[in-house]
Structure 1
Amino acid sequence: MNPAQKQIEELRAELTKHNYNYYVLDNPTISDYEFDMKLKELQQLEAKHPEYYDALSPTVRVGGMITKNFETVVHDYRMYSLDNSYSREELEEWEKRILRILGDVKVEFVCELKYDGASMSLTYENGELARAVTRGDGFQGDDVTNNVRTIRSVPLRLKGDYPEKFDIRGEIILPRDGFAKMNQERVEAGEDPYMNPRNTASGSLKLQDNSEVAKRPLDCLPYSIVGDNLNFSTQFEGLEKARDWGFKVPSVARLCQSTQEVMDFVNYWDVHRHELPYETDGVVVKVNSIAHQEELGYTAKAPRWAMAYKFKAEQVSTTLNSISYQVGRTGAITPVANLEPVLLAGTTVKRASLHNADQIGKLDIRVGDTVFVEKGGEIIPKIIRVDFTQRKPDSTPTSYVTHCPECDTELIRREGEAQHYCPNYYGCPPQITGRIQHFISRKAMDIEGLGGETVELLYKEGLIENYADLYLLKKEQIVPLERMAEKSAENLVAGVEKSKEIPFERVLYALGIRFVGETVAKKLARAYTSVEALKDATLEDLVTVDEIGVKIAESVVEFFRNENNVDIVERLRSYGVQMEIAPEKLQNQSDKLKGLTFVVSGVFETLSRNDLKKHIEDNGGKVASSISSKTSYVVAGDNMGPSKRDKAEKLNIPIISEHEFLEML
């Protein structure tokens, strides 16, 4: 190694150590001035010797890269949401559900603070940061690696006994002090201050110039590790390992043996959270054992082994100025309260959901009232009560709207449903554009270059009347439109063309059939394999499909009974949109396990638990989380819970090994 290379390597090692001491351990051993001088020296040496470039050098922390477009990346492991609880009783009920699945076992919990920031997934390969992806919709997010590299508490290279490849999830946050300093500088420069740390942290990750990101005091606080062949068996051990590898893992996490200990942690931090340097809005409680987590699995939206306990929401009072009515893509009418602007939980609130006519009547909400607004577990604030002492004598009860505010069609209210609906399915503008916006959304057709505002514009200009019309758009039609340039038009047409590769189950979800969400669309696609077969299915056929009830079946039959819908679906097929499961995918599927219900329990040698479950579902079987008289087989691996084994034996349910299961296929 020549002298210049040696000097560069030594400086990199020294600066990496000082960076870790300062930003992770909060224990600097040199002054800021000395650090800056050493960093400048390294930058000059690297400029003189580009042959020794290293993407993990401490100099990347200062930025200098421009990202025009943030590429969409599919997560290797889905980033789930969390179920919320607001009381001890809800936590205890959650614990009972866990024990019903796990049986008579000792369950430990880990309590961690729920930091209010932007969720991030960091991928490490061979100890080096390979990729940083935003949460997005949980299935895919935006690649913001260049920006995240500038965050000093994100290690670029790990130390210790880290796995070969893994993802670590964390919150990108702005400390209170740093946020206050940023705002002070903005005010002094004559600019408007930022509203709250969370939105500012999230927005920072999408700045095109990462040298601007580097100027912001962002922090990364990890909370979980996912991957195969991880070298720990509990959540708490995983946090300790991550700390050893160089991550800034908060030290407040606590291992609890009972709900009482969990509530002690919750109650302490509900009082002391304002002393923390970061914003936090609750506590996340997780089952400690990774084996137990795998046994418990997931619902369609959240892990069964974790629960967020939300601190009591902040409330403010303000005046209700008016009530407006929004029309959704299904025709559902949502009343919205237009409020006198008021600051709530760091955000200026001007609107709040009123949900439906029953809610307005129950609270006796009237225009002109002083109302209390809360921002709890919901994104949209809600009115929780009226201050009747402030009500004016001439106040009149609210009369719910009788006709659609958009197309003036008389509203209907179906028996047993809370909301009113506009039945003008094909003539009501918000319903038309709402269906198209759903069609292009990320979880559906994921059409890049096309957003909600552009859909509104295309509809207004008469270029589209339904989502099939998107496939006839030409660049020449788009370029003359407001806010459209040649490149934007090219991206839009290219995004529409690329959407023809989207698999059938997502196309089925994109069609916007009422009650057919992502999970139901997958089940229907697996059961019928093509839109043609689904179109011909009767109500009696549909209800035999796993988890398809009468309400969903009726909605599917009604959708395909409509000639307009059938025409649009046929047009989509003719344009090349996937209307059946690809033949190569069908090769791995069969009906061998149709009618059989399996419970998967324990740790396996050849396949992961998720792969086992996929094999069951791909071959027509159903996976259940707990053993019952309806269970056909228990596929047992190592460390199967003794209570589960006892229950299976009492019910005479066959217990088979992973190899016996594979032989069945």
Structure 2
Amino acid sequence: MGAELAEIRARVEALRREIEKHDYRYYVLDAPTITDAQYDRLMVELQQLEKEYPFLITPDSPTQRVGGKPREGFVTVKHAVPMLSLGNAFSEEDLREFDRRVKSALGGERYEYVVELKIDGLAVSLTYQNGVFVQGATRGDGETGEDITANLKTIRSIPLRLREPVDLLEARGEVYMPKDSFLALNSRRNERGEPPFANPRNAAAGSLRQLDPNITARRNLTIFVYAIGVLEFTGGQAPNLHSERLQFLERLGLRVNPHFQVCRDIDEAVSYCRIWQDKKSELPYAIDGMVIKVNSLVQQAALSATMKSPRWAIAFKFPPEQAETTVRDIIVSVGRTGVLTPTALLEPVSLAGSTVSRATLHNEDIVKEKDIRIGDRVIIQKAGDVIPEVVEVLKDRRSGTEREFSMPRACPACGAEVVRQTGEAAHRCTGAACPAQLLEGLIHFASRGAMDIAGLGPAVLRQLVEAGLVKDVSDLYKITAEQLVHLERFADKSAQNLVRAIAASKENPLHRLVFALGIRHVGERAARLLSEHFGDIQKIMDAEYEELVAIPEIGPKIAESVVSFMHEKQNRALIGRLIDLGVNVTADNNAAVGENAGLAGKTFVLTGTLATLKRDDAKELIEKNGGKVSSSVSKKTDYVVAGESPGSKYDKAVKLGIEILDEQDFLELIGADENEGGGDT
């Protein structure tokens, strides 16, 4: 066994080195040498070996980039060397004044500058001990920051192990979000009715300060490293020029921006700043200026620093590029989740390297706050060099012919009523059959927590929509196997299986249908409560606001949303079609639910991997028996159900003295048979 284990250990280490090599080529050099599928095979093999031999897992393994569990808060980190902010220059004369101060302080010594792009992101520190990434932190107030190690590990351009041995390295860098990722993120936020990020810097900062690293991992952040705070190594002479340090960091496998230049004097530095002021819009990331640094570390030390800023460096801030144009019209588009977004149609104008003819206005509140009217002359600029925005209305240029804008009362895509719920900025279409929302609505309807239709995933649904077979969810129950076999990847058997799965979903309990309808704010728990209280869909459709808020756990937002949805004619017609097609619309009166169930009033927390039950199945059993499932442990928790690898929730339960159940204890408590489980999680 010893020889076999040695071989496994060697294979694990070889896989890690191979994956690290390809991460470096892909995320740092932007020059991959293998396909995504080949990379995935390497990662899957490593994950499988680490699963079988968990004692071989190390913190710097590529599999450990996402820690998985949200945290309750950030720990404070004191920087070994303060992370100072830079003084600002706003003109060429400011730069020359900075140069005069450097010249005077150095007393006639020759000096040179390094000029770099000023990335519009969030400053962080990365600490490596013996070449392994051990801690990452925000700049904070310069003296102390926040420990965001778990979040930084999700950024694949940050190596978990350096390419050369270093005893101790604390590197400084700027985490940023590429322009295309920023646009995609804001698009998703607009569709959900969430406020968009103002610029890529805010987006990067908000992403890095998520308590759940899984959210950070989805934000597509990357980094440029630009300085060293602490360096201890026995591998040779430490670089004594800043330009050499950049090359040294690059050699270690850290991502360094290639656009920097050593300049012999301030004239060359100013010239390089002018070049990038003109070319900044060509970059795939946002920059808001340039940074000029004295190249010699000895001279940097001699120049020293004030309490806030180094005297050997300065940031040259680009002036915002703006243009004047006319608002021709304001139109409204409908997103995939039903959110209506106003957009200004502009007289085309050249701005930051492109012709701009539109500016997103986000919501009605912003239009009113800025008092933007159709026909106005306005000043526009690109937020973070990306999103055109109206920054100023030239009200003194108004002629009196300008027209005020207001959101439509009927959806421009389907004609359904538009509502704005209390406390929200977004206006939403209430039509369940709205074509603008069709695909997302279908995906939700067929999902596991809703109608749970096996084989009806996003790709298949997209085919059905594109083929014109489905215009709302009721059309799913009209599809035939003969229609499916003409679509890609469908044979006779797979077509028949899908038709059978769709037909079987007609027998689902009422609460699944209520959740599947996609009523805003109505999750699985609320859907079950409505089903239990009313017993059939017609009573839910006819329920008034006062009756709804009287139900425990149904608050004003849910009640308002249910009333709006059920009063919409399109939605009532859709439910009628589902009834005619044989979809079950009544609750199971024989089920043990609500206050009469054995777990009424009890709160459970699930943690770890259960042997026979899937997490959703355990949750359904608890709720079916009157209990409530919470995502976090508190003094109000009655039971914690713990499976394999339970994590911090288990530890907190022990600390608070909360009763902990294994899976067998849990099944005995609810009187369920183990065979009710749905398999491995």
Q: Indicate the structure (1 or 2) with the bigger Cα radius of gyration.
A: 2
TM-score normalised by the chain length of structure 2 = 0.47
